[in-house]
Amino acid sequence: MIRLSDILERVKSYNPKADLELINRAYVYSGKAHAGHVRMSGEPYLIHPLEVAGILSEMKMDVTTIVVGLLHDTIEDTDITHEEILGHFGDEVAFLVDGLTKISRLEFETTRHAQAENLRRMIISMAQDIRVIMIKLADRLHNMRTLEHLKPEKRIKVARETMDIYAPLANRLGISWIQSELEDLAFRYIHPEAFHSLQEKVSAKRSEYDAYIGEVLKVLDKALADNGLKGEVTGRVKHLYSIYNKMKIQDLPFEQIYDLIAFRIIVDSVRDCYGVLGIIHSLFRPVPGRFKDYIGVPKSNRYQSLHTTVIGPFRERMEVQIRTREMHLTAEDGIAAHWRYKEGSKTLPEEDIKRFSWFKQILDELKEVEDPRELMETVRTDLFPNDVYVFTPKGEVREFPKGATPIDFAYSIHTDVGHHCVGAKVNGRMVPLRYRLKNGDMVEIITSKGHRPSKDWLKIAFTNSAKSKIRSFIKREERERSMKIGEELLDKELRKMGTSLKKTIKTEGFQKAATTFGFHRVEDLIATVGFGKYSPRQVLSRLFPAEDVDTKLGYRGEAREAVRKARSKAKKDGILVDGVDDLMVRFAHCCNPLPGDDVVGIITRGRGISVHTVDCPNVEAERYDPDRLVDINWDSKVKVPRTVRIKVSSEDKKGILAEMTAVISARNINISHADITTTSDNRAVNFFEVDVEDLEQLQDLIKALSGVQGVISVERLKTQ
């Protein structure tokens, strides 16, 4: 157990001018506040804030932060108020304690929403004062160290949250020692069996590893000395969770993981880093593809180092990291290392914020995202440490999470580049849009003005910023489409009532109707009609007496009636299928209608009108909701070939297939697919997929095929 004097001594060692009296005062105050409280372990509660302050002193934090570490649970767990803290310790401390209280208030709620909100607050308060997150990490670290005292279900929940949020956060802030410890602690509770078996295996080999490390250190020391270079060489076994991860990613048993020991060489200058690298590579054969220059291209958390894997003195693979002392400090303490030199400044300087650009990006995204699930996803994937670095054609470096595709790249350039992206070249070669970007790729985006994103892109895009841009585009487009359909449907019905949408829309009655449906703006009501949520009839019944609506609109109740209307040749008020923006209509796959077929439209929710043949079973199924059926017409001026399947039963006789295809080709009809099977009774069943312009052309083709000698029957297949 840590004592206050240990903390004071440590603070004094890195900050000789520190106001130790203030820390002492906070300790006494916290002790009084928590007096009589005990932790789940049975120990006095004060131990917890003391340990948290201890961790913060290990992070070499400033006095204010240590003080807040001691006080962080007072408002939450005792009678102490914000005002009292303010009175005793000033507004900086009070603000920080407040921030931590807000975060912890949400911590123990179980809903996803609460967790997301918790995270949002944490990140927002982090933006105001980065120390909030340092204290939060120290708090979580101590809670994880003492997790065994909680109930088993609770342990797993806290461990998961740690693995999902806090460890990646520590990573993103570059505080690697906290990250490793949090990961190993969480690992122990999430996968206890894997943890213990791995721990056993590693400790069984401990002395072997130590001997090996000792031998390699001698070799490396000598190599440096022989070349007149100074450097501090160390070797260590990696932390358990990272070994476990390697086993999982490489799908290998423990015995075959070669790089669980890492060697590190710390030198004085960047030039020496490359000098040492040269020596290592001249003595030991480098493993191709394993050299990474994070000095030239630092990671987004500012991590810098050279990494290489070589075939070592015992013919084993050996990983070596080479860095300067300053880089080492950043690697271990991350943002804390940088921050602590700016004693007295609350937030990070602009320049540092820029370097931690992921952080600003998250903040921007948080402002946009409302759905808690989406928010969690945003933070989770954005915090995830696996990055890839790619180049623009101009040679600029861009950073993406592993899994990003050219679409993500396109959106990172500009929203419009994303929207209009039709293809991509990587290192000069065309790649599919689902291509996963790799480190060092040079990416070039090909755009086309008329192009726009589709829903499928949501599956291809990986980053949340690209996804939210695609989503908002689709939403906007859906809304426009719904508006158009809504206007058209309402206008059609209003005309039956002897008026029009144009005349009605500005009236007070219409505005009132919108209000009764719960909308502020009439446009929203119209869009909802187009979306298929409310029918024009429902809207009209708020504008006119019910009897009038029933007599004038007249068709209530039976789909048959709508279908009959669709069949009848008087379709003057129908929508021209090919005449309207093709965004609004889609051809149903269930019946695959062809120009010339009798068709009817069904308003689908959010996806415009789907066109079915009148005898399609799905139209029958809609009969209980006839308001969703709309009359539609083919626009005879436009000819767009559509694919139709036909089935030809024939005798299995030589040359008949050639004859059939000749008949099809003679009509200038394209065959996109053919499939022939013969049956035991000397018959053949031929399936053709042909592109025809309309029903007339299809009927002509069917007639011609029926005329081929040996053909028994020809049938159009409606399903695809």
Chain-centroid distance of CA 689 in Å reads 39
Question: How wide is the angle at C-alpha 426 spanned by C-alphas 423 and 427, nearest 5°?
Answer: 145
Structure tokens at 662: 């000749």
For Mn ion, which is the closer residue by CB, 139 or 622?
139
Residues contacting residue 652 through CB under 8 Å, at least 6 positions apart: 678, 679, 682, 683, 684
Interacting span for Mn ion (CB under 5 A) from 69-77, 128-136, 508-516, 527-535: 69-77
Part in contact with Mn ion (CB under 5 A); list of ranges 65-73, 271-279, 551-559, 679-687: 65-73
* Cα end-to-end distance, the chain, whole Å: 72
Instruction: Find the shortest distance in angstroms from Cβ 35 to Mn ion.
Output: 17
Positions in 15-34 near Mn ion (CB under 5 A): none
- Total residues in contact with Mn ion, by rule CB under 5 A: 2
Residue 110 Cβ vs Mn ion, minimum distance, rounded to whole Å: 19
Nearest Cα residue to 224 out of 285, 277, 152: 277
Residue 240: which residues within 8 A CB-CB, separation 6 or more? 184, 187, 195, 198, 199, 202
Q: Residue 69 or 174: which CB sits closer to Mn ion?
A: 69
Q: Say which residue the tokens 């689709």 belong to.
A: 474
User: To the nearest whole angstrom, how small is the minimum distance from the Cβ of residue 429 to Mn ion?
Assistant: 54
The b/e string for 61-82 (b: 16+ C-beta within 10 A; e otherwise) is: bbbbbbbbbbbbbbbebbebee
Residue list 144-163, contact with Mn ion (CB under 5 A): none
Contacting range for Mn ion; rule: CB under 5 A; set: 34-42, 131-139, 435-443, 487-495: 131-139
Cα(475)–Cα(615) distance, integer angstroms:
33
Q: Which is nearer to Mn ion, 64 or 504 (CB)?
A: 64
Per CB under 5 A, which region of 4-12, 84-92, 138-146, 712-720 contacts Mn ion?
A: 138-146
How far apart are CB 72 and Mn ion at their closest, in Å?
Answer: 6
Stretch binding Mn ion (CB under 5 A), from 77-85, 137-145, 212-220, 649-657: 137-145
In the set 19, 58, 73, 77, the catalytic residue is 77
Among residues 146 and 649, whose Cβ is nearest to Mn ion?
A: 146
Measured from the CB atom, the residue of 79 and 193 that comes closer to Mn ion is 79
Residue 76 known to be catalytic = yes
Q: How far is the CB of 189 from Mn ion (least distance, A)?
A: 18
Shortest Cβ 29–Mn ion spacing (Å) = 16
Q: Which CB sits closer to Mn ion, 74 or 378?
A: 74
By CB under 5 A, which span of 66-74, 114-122, 223-231, 438-446 interacts with Mn ion?
Answer: 66-74
Q: Is 139 in the site for Mn ion (CB under 5 A)?
A: yes
- 399 catalytic per annotation: no
Strand partners for 445: 424
Helices 131-145 and 47-58: crossing angle in degrees, nearest 10, is 120
Among 60, 68, 71, 73, binds Mn ion (CB under 5 A): 73
- Identify which of residues 144 and 611 has a Cβ nearer to Mn ion in the complex: 144
Q: Which residue, 73 or 491, is less far from Mn ion as judged by CB?
A: 73
Give min distance, CB of 176 to Mn ion, in A: 23
What's phi and psi for 110, nearest 5 deg? -95, -20
Quickly list DSSP for 469-538.
HHHHHHHHHHHHHHHHHHHHHHHHHHHHTT--HHHHHTSHHHHHHHHHTT-SSHHHHHHHHHHTSS-HHH
Tell me which amino acid residue 393 is: P
Query: From the CB of 49, what's the least distance to Mn ion, in Å?
Result: 7
Name the β-bridge partners of 391: 397, 442
Rank residues 142 and 420 by Cβ distance to Mn ion and give the closer one. Answer: 142
| 69/601 with CB nearer Mn ion | 69
State which H helix or E strand residue 107 sits in: helix 82-107
Over the window 84 to 113, marking each residue x when it contacts Mn ion by CB under 5 A and - when it does not, the resulting string is ------------------------------
CA distances from 246 to 235, 252, 399, 503 (A): 18, 8, 23, 69
Which among 135-143, 374-382, 501-509, 591-599 is the span making contact with Mn ion, rule CB under 5 A?
135-143
Cβ partners under 8 Å of residue 619, min gap 6: 559, 563, 600, 602, 612, 613, 629
Q: 260 is written with which tokens? A: 């669980």
Whichever of 38 and 225 has its CB closer to Mn ion, that residue is 38
Which residue among the candidates 19, 76, 374, 548 is catalytic per the annotation?
A: 76
**Which of the ranges 67-75, 432-440, 615-623, 705-713 carries the binding residues for Mn ion, by CB under 5 A?**
67-75
Q: Is 183 in the site for Mn ion (CB under 5 A)?
A: no
Binding mask 499-538 for Mn ion (x = CB under 5 A): ----------------------------------------
- CA 89: distance to chain centroid? 42
At its nearest, how many Å lie between Mn ion and the CB of residue 393? 50
Pairwise CA distance, residues 275 & 298, whole Å: 19
3-state secondary structure of 264: strand
Task: Give whole-number Cα distances, 109 to 10, 103, 104, 116, 512, in Å.
Answer: 36, 11, 10, 11, 41
The answer to whether 466 and 412 have CB atoms below 8 angstroms apart is: yes
**String marking each residue 646-675 x if it binds Mn ion according to CB under 5 A:** ------------------------------
By beta-carbon proximity to Mn ion, the closer residue of 129 and 139 is: 139
Write down the least CB distance from residue 509 to Mn ion, Å: 60
Stretch that binds Mn ion, among 8-16, 68-76, 410-418, 543-551 (CB under 5 A): 68-76
Token reading at 369: 């995202």
Q: Are the C-beta atoms of residues 267 and 276 closer than 8 Å to each other? A: yes
b/e map of 97-136 (b: 16 or more CB within 10 Å)? bbbbbbbbebbeeeeeeebbbbbbbbbebbbebbbbbbbb
Question: Smaller CB distance to Mn ion: residue 73 or 597?
Answer: 73
Distance CA 286, CA 272 (A): 19
Residue 531 CB, nearest approach to Mn ion (Å): 48
Task: Give the 3-state secondary structure of residue 8.
Answer: helix
How far is it, in rounded angstroms, from Cα 261 to Cα 522? 67
CB of 134 to Mn ion, least distance (A): 13
Q: Nearest to Mn ion by Cβ — which residue?
A: 139
| Cβ-Cβ contacts under 8 Å for 445 (sequence gap 6 or more) | 406, 409, 410, 413, 417, 421, 423, 424
The minimum distance between CB 318 and Mn ion, in angstroms, equals 42
Quick one: tokens of 232? 């501090």
- Contacting positions for Mn ion (CB under 5 A): 73, 139
Catalytic (active-site) positions: 76-77
